[in-house]
C-alpha cells in the first residue's frame, strides 16, 4: 500500500468514527473560589450585576442557615461576600430574584424563605442592603419572582409555597410597600416548589409555569393581575409530589416557548408549546439517563445556536446517599438530546442537588452553570423507602450537613 493509499484509509476511518460519536466533548471548569461550603443550600442560585461592573453576582438561601447571602463576582472565578444589611435568621431554603423595585437604577433583591417569609431589600450598588418589606406577611415561600404583573409600571411579587399555601401575588408601589392581591385565580391552598415566567401564549404579557404537588401547571396572565390555567397536553401523574424544578426556553426553535420540568420520580420532562397554551410531551430517552431530576435549566450553554438542557439529580431511583450530580444534555435544535459525558461537572458523588441556574457571568458568550447542593444526617430519597433501605440509610448517615453553592465555566 502506497503512502497516498494509507492517507486515504486514515481519512476515511476518521470520518466514519467521528460520525459514531455520541456527543461532542465539553469541559466545565470550577469557578467557585470564595463561595460557601457546608450548610444545606436548598435553593436556585440567582444571578444579577448588583454593582454595575459588567459581571453577574450571585445570591442563595440555605436550609438550617442564617438567611440569604450575596457574593460579588470578582472575575476569574473569585467571589466576595456582599450581604451587609441582610437579616440573620434561621432560614429553611427558598428562592431569590433581582430587580429595580424603587426605580433608582440599582439592583434590589427579593428573598423567599420557607420558614421566615418573603423579604425585599433595596441595594446601594455596593453590596449593602436595606429592608423594604412593608406589607409582606409571613408567607412560607419556596420560590419567588419579580415582574410587573398588573401593568402599573412597578415590580410585583409572586411567592410559591410548599406549605399548603399555594401561590400568592403581592403588588408593589415602587417604594418598597406591598399589598396582597387576593382575587387572582391562583391556588391558595396547594403545594408549589418552583415557578418560571414567560410569555407562553405570545400576547406580550408575562405568564407563569409552576411545579405543584399534583402536576406541572401553567397560568396565563391578563396583564391586570388575573390568571387562567392553560395545561392542555400536560398529563396528571399517578402520584403527587413528583415535580420540583421548571425552566422555559425554545427547545425546538419554532418561535414558541417550551418547558422543562424536573421529575423526582422519573427524570427530566420536556413539553413543547404551540404559543397558544397547549403542550406536547417530547422527552423520550431522557429518563433513561437521569432517573431522578430536581433542578432543570434550558439555555444555549455552548453557544452553538441550539438550546441545551442542564439537569441536577441522579441516574437511578435505586441509588441512595450522596450520589447526585449535574448532567449536560446537548440539544440539536429539533427537540433531540445527547448526553455530554466527562463534561467536568460532578456526576454521582454529591449530596442532594437542588436548583440549577444558567447565566453568562462575564458577558463572553457561553453560559456558566450554577447549582446548590446540601444534605445532612440522612439523605432521604423522594419516596418512602422500604425497611432494608431505611437500615441502609441509617448505617451510612453522615454526621452533619454537607453542601455548597458552586459555579462552573465552560472552557
Nearest to 58 by CA among 39, 43, 40, 79: 79
Report the pLDDT value the prediction gives residue 15, as an integer from 0 to 100. 32
- In terms of residues, how long is the chain? 411
Report the pLDDT value the prediction gives residue 36, as an integer from 0 to 100. 95
Report the pLDDT value the prediction gives residue 384, as an integer from 0 to 100. 47
Produce one character per residue of 255-279: b if its CB has 16 or more CB atoms within 10 Å, e if not.
Answer: ebbbbbbbbbbbbbbbbbbbeebbb
Q: Are 156 and 170 in contact (CB under 8 A)?
A: yes
Cα 57 to chain centroid, rounded: 16
Query: In terms of DSSP bridges, do strands 57-60 and 69-75 run parallel, antiparallel, or are they unpaired?
Result: antiparallel
How many CB atoms are located within 10 Å of the residue 55 CB?
17
| pTM of structure | 0.88
Report the pLDDT value the prediction gives residue 320, as an integer from 0 to 100. 87
| Phi-psi region at 16: left, alpha or beta (left = phi > 0; alpha = psi -120 to 50) | alpha
Kindly report the three-state secondary structure assignment for every residue of the chain: CCHHHHHHHHHHHHHHHHHCCCCCCCCEEECCECCCECCECCECCEEECCCCCCCCEEEECCEEECCCEEEEEEECCEEEECCECCCCCCEECEEEEEECCCCCCCCEEEEEECCCEEEEEEECCCCEEEECCECCCCCCCCEEEEECCCCCCCCEEEEECCCCCCEEEEEECCCCEEEEECCCCCCCCCCEEEEEEECCCCCCCCEEEEEECCCEEEEEECCCCCEEECCECCCCCCCCCCEEEEEEECCCCCCCCEEEEEECCCEEEEEEECCCCEEEECCCCCCCCCCEEEEEEEECCCCCCCCEEEEEEECCCCCCCCCEEEEEEEECCCCCEEECCCCCCCCCCECCEEEEEEECCCCCCCCEEEEEEEECCCCCCCCCCCHHHHHHHHHCCCCCCEEEEEEEEEC
The span from the CA of 371 to the CA of 254, in Å, is 29
Report the pLDDT value the prediction gives residue 358, as an integer from 0 to 100. 97
How many CB atoms are located within 10 Å of the residue 64 CB?
16
In the block, residue with C-alpha cell 440555605:
62
> Grid coordinates in use for 203?
400576547
Report the pLDDT value the prediction gives residue 120, as an integer from 0 to 100. 98
Report CA-CA distances (Å) from 387 to 378, 392, 394. Answer: 15, 9, 11
Report the pLDDT value the prediction gives residue 183, as an integer from 0 to 100. 85
How many CB atoms are located within 10 Å of the residue 46 CB?
25
Q: Phi/psi at 3 (nearest 5 deg)?
A: -60, -40
pLDDT tens by residue, 117-162: 999 999 999 999 999 999 998 899 999 999 999 999 999 999 999 9
Q: List per-block mean pLDDT (blocks of 10 residues) for the chain, which spans 411 residues.
A: 41 32 70 94 96 97 94 97 96 96 98 95 98 94 97 97 94 96 91 97 97 94 96 89 94 97 95 96 93 97 95 93 94 94 91 95 93 70 46 48 90 84
Amino acid at each position: 500500500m502506497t503512502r497516498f493509499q494509507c492517507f486515504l484509509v486514515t481519512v476515511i476511518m476518521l470520518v466514519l468514527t467521528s460520525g459514531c460519536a455520541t456527543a461532542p466533548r465539553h469541559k466545565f471548569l470550577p469557578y467557585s473560589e470564595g463561595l460557601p461550603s457546608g450548610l444545606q443550600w436548598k435553593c436556585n442560585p440567582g444571578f444579577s450585576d448588583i454593582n454595575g461592573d459588567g459581571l453577574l453576582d450571585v445570591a442563595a438561601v440555605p436550609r438550617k442557615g442564617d438567611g440569604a447571602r450575596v457574593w460579588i463576582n470578582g472575575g476569574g472565578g473569585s467571589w466576595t461576600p456582599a450581604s451587609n444589611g441582610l437579616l440573620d435568621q434561621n432560614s429553611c431554603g427558598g428562592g431569590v430574584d433581582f430587580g429595580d423595585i424603587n426605580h433608582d437604577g440599582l439592583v434590589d433583591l427579593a428573598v423567599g424563605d420557607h420558614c421566615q417569609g418573603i423579604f425585599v431589600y433595596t441595594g446601594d450598588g455596593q453590596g449593602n442592603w436595606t429592608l423594604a418589606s412593608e406589607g409582606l406577611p409571613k408567607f412560607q415561600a419556596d420560590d419567588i419572582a419579580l415582574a410587573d404583573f398588573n401593568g402599573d409600571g412597578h415590580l410585583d411579587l409572586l411567592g410559591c409555597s410548599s406549605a399548603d399555601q399555594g401561590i400568592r401575588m403581592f403588588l408593589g408601589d415602587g417604594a418598597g410597600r406591598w399589598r396582597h392581591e387576593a382575587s387572582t385565580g391562583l391556588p391558595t391552598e396547594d403545594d408549589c416548589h418552583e415557578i418560571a415566567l414567560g410569555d407562553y401564549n405570545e400576547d406580550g404579557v408575562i405568564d407563569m409555569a409552576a411545579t405543584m404537588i399534583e402536576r406541572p401547571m401553567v397560568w396565563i396572565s391578563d396583564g391586570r393581575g388575573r390568571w387562567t390555567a392553560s395545561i392542555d397536553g400536560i398529563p396528571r401523574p399517578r402520584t403527587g409530589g413528583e415535580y420540583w424544578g421548571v425552566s422555559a426556553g425554545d427547545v425546538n426553535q419554532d418561535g414558541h416557548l417550551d418547558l422543562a420540568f424536573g421529575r423526582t420520580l422519573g427524570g427530566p420532562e420536556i413539553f413543547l408549546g404551540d404559543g397558544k397554551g397547549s403542550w406536547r410531551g417530547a422527552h423520550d430517552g431522557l429518563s433513561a439517563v437521569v432517573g431522578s431530576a430536581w433542578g432543570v435549566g434550558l439555555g444555549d450553554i455552548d453557544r452553538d445556536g441550539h438550546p441545551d438542557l442542564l439537569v441536577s439529580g441522579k441516574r437511578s431511583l435505586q441509588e441512595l446517599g450522596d450520589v447526585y450530580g449535574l448532567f449536560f444534555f446537548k440539544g440539536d435544535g429539533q427537540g433531540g438530546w445527547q448526553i455530554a459525558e466527562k463534561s467536568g461537572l460532578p456526576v454521582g458523588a454529591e449530596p442532594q442537588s437542588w436548583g440549577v441556574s444558567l447565566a453568562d457571568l462575564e458577558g463572553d458568550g457561553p453560559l456558566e452553570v450554577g447549582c446548590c447542593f446540601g444534605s445532612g444526617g440522612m439523605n432521604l430519597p423522594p419516596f418512602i423507602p422500604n425497611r432494608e433501605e431505611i437500615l441502609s440509610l441509617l448505617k451510612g448517615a453522615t454526621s452533619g450537613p454537607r453542601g455548597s453553592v458552586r459555579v462552573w465555566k465552560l472552557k
